[in-house]
Amino acid sequence: MAGLENDIATDAGTRRPWRSRYGRALLAGTIAALLAATAVIFFMWGSLGQPNATPSVRPSPSKSADRLTVAQIYNKLAPSVVSIKATGSGTATGTGVVVNADGAILTAYHVVEGAKTISVTFADGTVAEAEVAGAEPAMDIAVLLPAQLPQVLVPAVLGASRGVGVGDDVVAIGNQLGLTLSTTSGVVSGLDRSIKGDGESPDLKGLIQFDAAVNPGSSGGPLVNARGETIAIVVALANPTDAGTFIGVGFAVPIGQALGAGSSRPPQI
């Protein structure tokens, strides 16, 4: 700095402070500019040469967030599904689903109609005698109460039938053709369907139509939505032949209507 001060002194030795201050300001400005340029270079290098911190992502709530796969639905519902064997003038087999903590089982009325003895087998292998506690033949629905419960009872989660729409995914679980806990999937293919009885059975109305495969032995099983909620009870299939096997159209009683059968007077058996 001494050299710089000598350069701005007059012959008489008198300093010119404004020139000295100007020189220092110029030097300071130059240094500041260099530092700023260096900072810009480092900033650019930091932006280009190092990855930015990964932002945290929080999923937004959506209706699809609680959708389950078919495998998950099976694992959720299988402990609530029972197989039914009813004996009378003959032997009938079907499916049922546990719907409350008392062990009440919803099934199709035609499975236990006229039966003298009814036995149910729970998912854990527990076998118990059961009796009809309520029935509504006009809806083909019966409620059974078993004499014995398994050590761990798992009632199904029930859904709302009124929210069901054509095209909704559904899963049917049942003991079709004697194949225990068979699981099939499809969609709702119609609503508020009616089917005519065979002369001995009444006409059924207000049914959910679906295309998940069901067969003899599936009757009384749960029809389940994509959230794993039971929305209906399987009662019938459509087949224009005498084969009595599935060709793509099944029917189920909405769960709200089916639950109403619990207050009905049990039939004489």
- Just list the catalytic residues: 110, 140, 219
Q: Distance between CA 86 and CA 106 in Å, rounded?
A: 14
Please name which of 124, 115, 91, 120 lies closest in space to residue 104, comparing C-alpha atoms: 120
From the CB of residue 162, how many other CB atoms can be counted at a distance below 10 Å? Answer: 9
Please name every residue paired with 209 in a beta bridge, in sequence order, or none if there are none: 190, 251
Measured in degrees and rounded to the nearest 5, phi and psi for residue 74 equal -60, -50
Q: Measure the CA–CA gap between 112 and 95, rounded to whole angstroms.
A: 11
Comparing CA positions, the residue from 54, 34, 95, 71 lying closest to residue 223 is: 95
